[in-house]
Amino acid sequence: MEINRNRNADELMKKIGYEFRNKEYLEEALTHRSYSNETEKDRRFNNEKLEFLGDAILNLITTEYIYELYEKKTEGELAKLKSQIISEPVFSTIASELELGEYLYLSNGEIMSGGRHRRSILGDAFEALIGAIFKDSDYYTAKNIALKFLLGKINKLEEIEGTGDYKTVLQEFVQGKYRKMPEYNLIKTSGPDHDKVFEMSVSWNDKIHGIGTGKSKKEAEKHAAREALARLKKSEK
């Protein structure tokens, strides 16, 4: 199931406000590894290297911007803020707003399994798109376009928290790496009946990876998932 490349490329360029001089960069940014593996294309032709590049560029753009914007924040506060912005929930939300999934080249199997709406794929595609713009132009052009989409997220971090579906992000990670589902278990409840506090754990491979508390089991599970993701991110450094 192929999409109309020329029509969709033109539509997407209008949405992002940038016209590629070398449209092969855009095609590469939109090509998921599954598509290259399924077709006769060179299997190395996919968006993973542009994603790698885009991630580095977005890190620099965001760091530079919040450094200038929040002069009174400490290094620790800036690092925490950056980690909230440079994240899959934020990038996948921007990609969804652009309907980026509709422009991606995916294998038939990936399409059938909902790949056009999968957060991990969308977040990676947004990074690849910024990497492609950088390759086609320069840092400052990529910066201006990236900030056009990031500014609203930077200035409304409460909304970022709201879009950060930590349980979904954690589930996709654990399923992708371990082929298992994270399990949530109640550790204990405390407080009177009208004001209970729940403590939940999230585990996989017979090991607890995060613990969270909340006024409901759902809220506690979200906090447990957030802690697990924070630990995973720290372990990757």
Task: Write down the domain spans for the chain.
Answer: 5-163, 180-236
Select which of 28, 51, 55, 221 is catalytic.
55
Select which of 127, 199, 221, 227 is catalytic.
127
Where residue 208 falls (left for φ over 0; alpha for ψ -120 to 50; beta otherwise) is beta
How confident is the model over 102-157, as pLDDT tens digits? Answer: 999 988 888 888 888 899 999 999 999 999 999 999 999 999 999 999 887 776 65
138 is known as an active-site residue: no
Can you tell me the mean pLDDT for 210-221?
89
CATH T-level fold of 180-236: Double Stranded RNA Binding Domain (3.30.160)
**What DSSP string runs through 187-204?**
EEEES-GGG-EEEEEEEE
Give the largest CA-CA distance in the chain.
65
**Token representation of residue 57:** 């560029």
Can you tell me the mean pLDDT for 178-187?
91
Q: Report the SS3 class of residue 160.
A: helix
pTM over 0.85: no
172 is known as an active-site residue: no
Domain spanning 5-163, CATH architecture: Orthogonal Bundle (1.10)
Q: Which of 46-50, 86-90, 221-225 has the highest mean pLDDT?
A: 46-50
Q: What confidence score (pLDDT) does residue 115 get?
A: 85
d(CA 145, CA 12): 13
Q: How many CA atoms lie within 13 A of 32 on its CB side?
A: 26
Q: What confidence score (pLDDT) does residue 221 get?
A: 92
In this model, does residue 1 exceed pLDDT 70?
Answer: no
* Averaged confidence pLDDT in the chain: 85
